[in-house]
Amino acid sequence: MAEQTETLAILFADISGSTTLYESLGNGLARQIVVRCLALMSSRLGAHRGTLIKTIGDEIMCTFPNAEAALRAACDMQDAVENGKPGGEMPIYVRIGFNYGEVIHEANDVHGDAVNVAARITQVARARQILASAAVIEALPPELRQRARHIRQARIKGRQAPLDLFQIGWIAEGIESARIGNPANRKPEGQEAQLVLRHFDQQFMVNERNPTATLGRNESCAIAILDACASDRHATVQHQLGRFYISDRSARGTYVRFRDGDTVHIVGESTMLRGPGAILLGRPFSENPAGRIEFSIELAPAPD
């Protein structure tokens, strides 16, 4: 059969921490959870004109006719796993990476550089993240493109130039709020979301008027931490399009723990904050240090 080429979005969705799942639960129960999770994600393909190419262990590979369809499917997949609870009381998280470019069709499979890049993006993604390439962002419509945030560069085997990676928010109304004229997703009139940072007697609000807060050991920081493990200017918290992100600027990294117990460790990366939760600079929560920064997202009167 002759090879055919086509420009598609290629998406990989991988169950995060599946090796630990098998070790802790045993093969039988762990496999049941993996199968349920893969089925939940696969069930979201049809609504977005997606094609399941194959299942690779605890991962699915699929294609979409365009970047927008892939993005909406990725958000649906994350939401399906979050709310479908394939692990019952045990939280199950997935990581998703996708790319957009020319692929080679061969039988029922696709190959090419665009596929390899999509796989690599997924490998560096973290639990509950959706990561995309610059090619994806350029192919998105403007109202969705603005929801992407550049977080880092990654080295790809066989490529000299690093690859720019973008994180796309999906929590709750994240992607749907980009739909024009959907009143269910509008914030209350006259109010705005703000993120409140607290550390002992220090407090700082991040919002449209104060869109950036620096966290670190330097006394000029919005929240100053007296801890040798914290860098001078360790991390920044930013407001962007109604969402809040924390970006690590240190060698030791930043730890974020959310209310559901999910903890992420970022080093030179960014992650979206969903409150309430806590932040630690340079130390894991297992050390129970005093440098904990509490955060919450609240509604406040919008600026005139």
Phi/psi at 188 (5° precision): -55, 140
User: Is the pLDDT reported for residue 255 higher than 70?
Assistant: yes
- Mean pLDDT for 53-64 is 95
% of the chain exceeding 70 in pLDDT: 91
Complete domains list, the chain, with CATH: 4-178 (3.30.70.1230), 191-301 (2.60.200.20)
Confidence band (pLDDT; 50, 70, 90) for 274?
confident
% of the chain exceeding 90 in pLDDT: 56
State the pLDDT at residue 192.
Answer: 80
CB 140 within 8 A of CB 169: no
Residue in the structure block whose two tokens are 């603005």: 146
User: Is the pLDDT reported for residue 268 higher than 90?
Assistant: no
What pLDDT, in 10s, does the model give residues 185-229? 445 556 788 999 999 999 999 998 899 999 999 999 999 999 999
SS3 for 77? helix
Query: How many Cβ atoms are within 10 Å of 294's Cβ, its own excluded?
Result: 15
Q: Which of 19-33, 182-196, 240-254 has the lowest mean pLDDT?
A: 182-196
SS3 for 204? strand
Q: CA–CA distance from 170 to each of 207, 238, 303 (Å)? A: 20, 17, 26
User: How far is it, in rounded angstroms, from Cα 105 to Cα 119?
Assistant: 17
pLDDT, the chain, mean: 87
State the pLDDT at residue 189.
Answer: 57
Q: Which of 17-26, 70-79, 173-182, 229-238 has the lowest mean pLDDT?
A: 173-182
User: Is the pLDDT reported for residue 174 higher than 60?
Assistant: no
Q: Which of 110-114, 148-152, 187-191, 200-204 has the lowest mean pLDDT?
A: 187-191
- The model carries a pTM of 0.62
Interhelix angle 27-42/18-25, nearest 10 degrees: 140
Confidence band (pLDDT; 50, 70, 90) for 176?
very low
Strand 293-301, strand 277-281: pairing: antiparallel
State the pLDDT at residue 256.
Answer: 94
